[in-house]
Structure 1
Amino acid sequence: MWDVSAYRTSDRRRSTARLIGAVLLPCALLLSACSTDRPAPTASPRASQAESTYTPPIATERFPLRGTGVPPGSLAHPSLAVKIDDHEAARPQFGLERTDLVFEELVEGGLTRYVAVWHSDIPDVVGPVRSIRPMDPDVIAPLGGIVAYSGGQQQFVDMMTATSVVNAAFDSDETGLFSRTDEREAPHNVVLRAKALVDRNGAVPAPPQQFAYAATVPESSAAVDGIPVTTISSRFSDSRWPDWTWDAASGVYLRRQEGAPDLDAGGVQLRSTNVLALRVAIDDTYLHVPKTTMIGSGEAWVSTGGKTLHALWTKAAQDAPIHLTDDNAVTIRLAPGNTWIELVPVDRGSVILVP
Structure 2
Amino acid sequence: MATVGTGREARTRRGTATRALLAVLMTAGLAAGCTTSGGSTDDGRGSTAPSAREPRPSGPDGPPVLAVKIDNAPAARPHTGVDAADVVYVEQVEGGLSRLMAVYATRLPESVGPVRSARESDLELLRQFDRPVLAFSGAQGKLLPLIDRAPLEGVTPESSPGVYARGTDRPAPHNLYLRPERLMDGPPGRAALTTGFRFGRPPAGGEPEDALTVRYPATRFTFTWSDADGRWPVSMDGVPATTAGGDRLAPATVVVQYVTVRRSGYRDFLGNNTPYTETVGSGEATVLREGRAYEARWNRPTAEDGTSFTTGDGERMTFAPGQVWVVYAEAP
TM-score w.r.t. the length of structure 2 is: 0.75
**SS of the counterpart of 2:233?**
strand
**SS of the counterpart of 1:263?**
coil
Alignment of 1:194-209 (within 5 A): 194-199=180-185, 206-208=192-194
Task: Determine which of 208, 215, 229 is the counterpart of 1:235.
Answer: 215
Gaps of 5+ in 1: 1-72, 348-355
**SS of the counterpart of 1:176?**
helix
Note if contact 1:132-1:157 (Cα within 8 Å) is conserved in structure 2.
no
The equivalent of 1:291 in structure 2 is 276
State how far apart, in whole Å, the 2-side matches of 1:297 and 1:117 are: 22
Percent of aligned pairs sharing the same letter:
30
**2:149 is the alignment partner of 1:162:** yes
Alignment of 1:53-202 (within 5 A): 78-144=64-130, 145-170=132-157, 172-174=158-160, 176-199=162-185
The equivalent of 1:271 in structure 2 is 250
State how far apart, in whole Å, the 1-side matches of 2:136 and 2:152 are: 13
The alpha carbon displacement at 1:161 in A equals 2.9
**SS of the counterpart of 2:305?**
coil
Gaps of 5+ in 2: 1-58, 268-272
**SS of the counterpart of 1:139?**
helix
**SS of the counterpart of 2:212?**
strand
The alpha carbon displacement at 1:101 in A equals 0.3
Change in Cα spacing, 1:112 to 1:209, as seen in structure 2 (3 Å) is closer
The alpha carbon displacement at 1:76 in A equals 6.5
State how far apart, in whole Å, the 1-side matches of 2:133 and 2:177 are: 16
Note if contact 2:66-2:105 (Cα within 8 Å) is conserved in structure 1.
yes
Note if contact 1:275-1:339 (Cα within 8 Å) is conserved in structure 2.
yes
Note if contact 1:136-1:160 (Cα within 8 Å) is conserved in structure 2.
no
Question: Which of the pair has more CA radius of gyration?
Answer: 1
Can you list the C-alpha shifts for 1:297-329, whole angstroms capped at 9, x where unaligned? Answer: 121001110011101112111221111111122
State how far apart, in whole Å, the 2-side matches of 1:337 and 1:320 are: 22
The alpha carbon displacement at 1:142 in A equals 1.0
Change in Cα spacing, 1:160 to 1:200, as seen in structure 2 (3 Å) is farther
Give the total of aligned pairs.
Answer: 266
State how far apart, in whole Å, the 2-side matches of 1:225 and 1:155 are: 47
The equivalent of 2:261 in structure 1 is 282
Change in Cα spacing, 1:346 to 1:154, as seen in structure 2 (3 Å) is same
State how far apart, in whole Å, the 1-side matches of 2:106 and 2:75 are: 28
Taking CA–CA contacts closer than 8 Å with sequence separation of 6 or more, which of the two structures ends up with the larger relative contact order?
2
RMSD over aligned Cα, in angstroms? 2.2
State how far apart, in whole Å, the 1-side matches of 2:188 and 2:250 are: 29
TM-score w.r.t. the length of structure 1 is: 0.70
State how far apart, in whole Å, the 2-side matches of 1:305 and 1:157 are: 41
Amino acid in structure 1 at the alignment position of 2:287: V
The alpha carbon displacement at 1:202 in A equals 7.1
State how far apart, in whole Å, the 1-side matches of 2:259 and 2:67 are: 21
Detail structure 1 runs of 4+ shifted over 6 Å in the superposition: 73-76, 200-203
State how far apart, in whole Å, the 1-side matches of 2:154 and 2:212 are: 34
Task: Determine which of 240, 249, 255 is the counterpart of 2:228.
Answer: 249
**SS of the counterpart of 1:289?**
strand
State how far apart, in whole Å, the 1-side matches of 2:61 and 2:242 are: 29
Higher helix share: 1
Can you list the C-alpha shifts for 1:155-191, whole angstroms capped at 9, x where unaligned? Answer: 3333333232221122x32352123222221111111
Can you list the C-alpha shifts for 1:244-292, whole angstroms capped at 9, x where unaligned? Answer: 0000011111111111111111112110100000111112132511111
Amino acid in structure 1 at the alignment position of 2:222: D
Note if contact 1:75-1:206 (Cα within 8 Å) is conserved in structure 2.
no
Change in Cα spacing, 1:234 to 1:202, as seen in structure 2 (3 Å) is closer
The equivalent of 2:202 in structure 1 is 220
State how far apart, in whole Å, the 2-side matches of 1:312 and 1:82 are: 27
State how far apart, in whole Å, the 2-side matches of 1:299 and 1:206 are: 26
